[in-house]
Structure 1
Amino acid sequence: MSQVSSGDVVRIHYTGRLPDGTQFDSSSGREPLEFKVGGGQIIPGLDRQIEGMAVGESGTLTIPADEAYGPRDENQIQTVSRTTLPPDLELSLGTNLQATTQDGGQIALTVVDLTEEEVTVDANHPLAGQDLIFDVEVVEIVEA
């Protein structure tokens, strides 16, 4: 039976959940996730732990926060004046925004607080600081 190696292109079915059982993502009802092992296309801990699994093998993998989306960084939470935002922008708690950095990159922001005068946004990934649990099944090695 073929085992997954670094550099292989693989397809997996997965369900991601938090330690409290809350599901945050799943490939159920969709095509399997396809990625190159070791290619930096998925979170590092999952990428590393898939290696060595066999086609048809299922398992539960626990990924510590440091190998997933990293720790939460409170410096990534900023409060800005509403006057710096487009006046017709409709905001509520949980609204997702995109900002452009000085070097032209894009960052995702989530509105975490708002008043008439100010908006507080968080640039942390929503799963930052969380250990993640994945139930995975290696469906196939597309390209070795």
Structure 2
Amino acid sequence: MKNTENPVVAIHYTLTNKAGEKLGSSIGGEPLSYLQGAGNIIPGLERALSETSVGDKLTVTIEAADAYGEHNEAQMQTVSKDMFQGMDKVEVGMQFQADSSNGPAIVTVTEIDGDNITIDGNHPLAGEQLTFDVEVMDIRPATATEIEHGHIHGAGCNH
């Protein structure tokens, strides 16, 4: 079966950044499964996997705009330490859920200067060129419910 017409695709991958540092991998674990065409994975990788077949192996380098987007300075904000009431300690690297104009978002503390805390709403990989080494492990037809819901169902699904 070819990866067309909204199938469920299972891949093993290894992800590296431009410097060649390994950022993640599914090797040794379960493959990553997604619904092709539903935007479940980054656009550049989804396009690269279009029309693939089981057993295909590829290496694809994806620019930031087709991955997690360019780093957007507008997503950074300095807030008062008072915004973190109830927290014993706030440290650089901590992540929190915050309300944004687009709904809930994850923000990361990037700097602490006295009572001023800088938070970043960009994805941690925003602005990064990424390289995926991928092997297509399985392709199956999606169910009507998976297509309707826009994601796969199975282990870990909360429906």
Q: TM-score, normalised by structure 2?
A: 0.84
Q: Structure 1 vs Structure 2: percent identity of aligned residues? A: 41
Distance 1:41 1:112 in 2: 27
For 2:16 and 2:34, the matched residues in 1 are separated by 20
* Change beyond 3 A, Cα 1:59–1:102: closer
- Give the structure 1 partner of residue 58 of structure 2: 59
What residue is the counterpart of 2:123 in the other structure? 125
- 1:89 to partner: Cα distance: 4.3
Q: Secondary structure of 1:94's match?
A: coil
Task: Encode CA deviations 1:44-87: one digit per residue, 9 max, x unaligned.
Answer: 11011101222111110111111101111111110001112214
Distance 1:24 1:6, change over 3 A: farther
Q: In the TM superposition, what whole-angstrom CA distance separates every residue of 1:86-122 from its partner, at most 9, and x where no partner exists?
A: 143421111111102357x211111110123111001
Is the CA contact 2:11–2:135 (under 8 Å) kept in the aligned structure 1? yes
Q: Helix, strand or coil: the match of 2:74?
A: helix
Any conservation in 2 of the 1:100–1:107 contact (CA below 8 Å)? yes
Instruction: Specify the alignment match of 2:68 in structure 1.
Output: 69
Count of residues in Structure 1 that have an aligned counterpart in Structure 2: 142
Counterparts of 2:7 and 2:100 in 1: how far apart (Å)?
Answer: 34
Counterpart in the other structure of 1:112: 110
Gaps of 5+ in 1: none
The CA distance in 2 between the partners of 1:22 and 1:77, in whole Å, is 25
TM-score in terms of structure 1 length: 0.92
- Taking the aligned partners of 1:89 and 1:59, their CA distance within structure 2 comes to 47
1:15 and 1:26 in contact (8 A); partners too: yes
- Distance in 1, matches of 2:140 and 2:36, equals 11
> Which residue identity does 1:142 align to in structure 2?
R
The answer to whether the 8 A contact 1:6-1:51 is kept is no
Matched, 1:20 2:35: no
CA RMSD of aligned residues (A): 1.5
Give the Cα–Cα distance (whole angstroms) in 2 for the partners of residues 82 and 135 of structure 1. Answer: 42
Corresponding residue of 1:84: 83
Q: Which 5+ residue runs of structure 2 have no aligned equivalent?
A: 143-159
